[in-house]
Structure 1
Amino acid sequence: MNLNISPVKGFTLVELMVVVVIVAIFAAVAIPSYQATVRRGQAAQAQDQLQQIAMMLDKHKSRNFSYEGANVPTDLRVLPKGATGTAVKYNFVLVPGATGQTWVVTAESQDTRNFSFLMSSTGLRCKNKTWANINTTTMTCGAGHEEW
């Protein structure tokens, strides 16, 4: 009698479960880190867009001697540009001063884990993760704000 027993080829269930656990640990670390990086990138884009709006407002004032009649162009009112619905990450709003000599622009984040921004013609630039703390009337970002 010739018994040729060939070695078993493949993986055991325990080996597969170990690999699944290792992949799950990597995912648990990598996904939140990636999401935080994406939020930081979106916040940087919002800051850049606020500065573009500020330059446009300054050009308007240099031509008209007032900010009166200035507005945010349609393509700069949301970020990413041209986004609609749930794709919108930031909404930009211009609040002109009563005399036409000042303005405040806000960028409201649609993600509560990201910063919302306030920028004014007087040089104020602040950010806060709590949108309700940002006040365009008093030009403050409230408790928990940071300058940028």
Structure 2
Amino acid sequence: MNQRYMLSRSGFTLIELMITVAIVAIIAAIAIPSYDVYIRRADLATAQQEMLKVAALLEKHRARNFSYDGFVLKGTATNQGAYYAVPTATNTSLLLPLNASSGDQKFSLTLTVNSQAWSLQAVSQSPRNYSLLMTSTGFKCKTKTVANMTSSSCGNSAEDW
């Protein structure tokens, strides 16, 4: 009798395995979209942080030179830090994260500058994430509709950030 009991309890039944697979599938269905949202929020926060750094450096450049002229974003071939100012350079865009190569970037940061004003756009490569705009007047907005974004407005579906 003891041997018969041992033979009937060795292993899992198909029902037990199906229940386990169903539980794992439910947990994955909840966890994966939540993780995706978390990653998009982290990428957005990184873009906002980099935009604020560039804005601070632009204001520092203006305080030294009485103009925004001459401030450019770092080219990928230089090793002079994240940002620098060179009067003869013409680079006005930057890929985020900073170590990203073309095609791997999460955001493309574009600077439009003249002597008295600037505009900074961070365009998301993902249509599910926000694109950002920041200007020298302190205007900051975000939108998921990149086509409506200009150097001074995020369009009708804009939100503040």
Is residue 2:114 matched to residue 1:113?
A: no
SS of 1:54's equivalent in the other structure is helix
Task: Map 1:1-148 onto structure 2 (within 5 A).
Answer: 4-5=3-4, 6-8=6-8, 9-74=10-75, 75=82, 77-97=94-114, 100-136=115-151, 139-148=152-161
CA–CA distance in 2 between the matches of 1:62 and 1:32? 45
CA distance in 2, matches of 1:119, 1:3: 77
Going from structure 1 to structure 2, the CA distance change for 1:26 and 1:91 (only over 3 Å counts) comes to: same
Contact 2:107–2:122 (Cα < 8 Å) also in 1: yes
- The answer to whether the Cα contact below 8 Å between 2:130 and 2:142 also exists between their aligned partners in 1 is yes
The number of equivalent residue pairs is 143
User: How far off its partner does 1:70 sit?
Assistant: 1.1
State the distance in 2 between where 1:34 and 1:92 align. 25
Q: Distance in 1 between matches of 2:138 and 2:2?
A: 88
106-115 vs 81-90, which moves further: 81-90
Q: Give the distance between the partners of 2:71 and 2:2, measured in 1 at CA.
A: 91
> Which runs of 5 or more residues in structure 1 are unaligned?
none
- Per the alignment, in what secondary structure is the counterpart of residue 141 of structure 2? strand
8 A Cα contact 2:95 2:102, kept in partner: no
Separation of aligned partners in 2, 1:72 and 1:133:
24
TM-score by length of 2: 0.83
Q: Tell me what 2:91 maps to.
A: none
Which amino acid counterpart does residue 7 of structure 1 have in structure 2? Answer: L
Q: CA deviation at 1:23?
A: 0.5
TM-score (ref. length: structure 1): 0.90
Opposite residue 132 of structure 1, the aligned amino acid is A
Work out the CA distance in 2 between the residues paired with 1:33 and 1:102. 39
Unaligned runs of 5+ in 2: 76-81, 84-93
8 Å contact 2:119–2:133 — kept in the other structure? yes
Distance change >3 Å, CA 70–CA 86, structure 1 → 2: same
Deviation at 1:3, TM superposition (A): 9.2
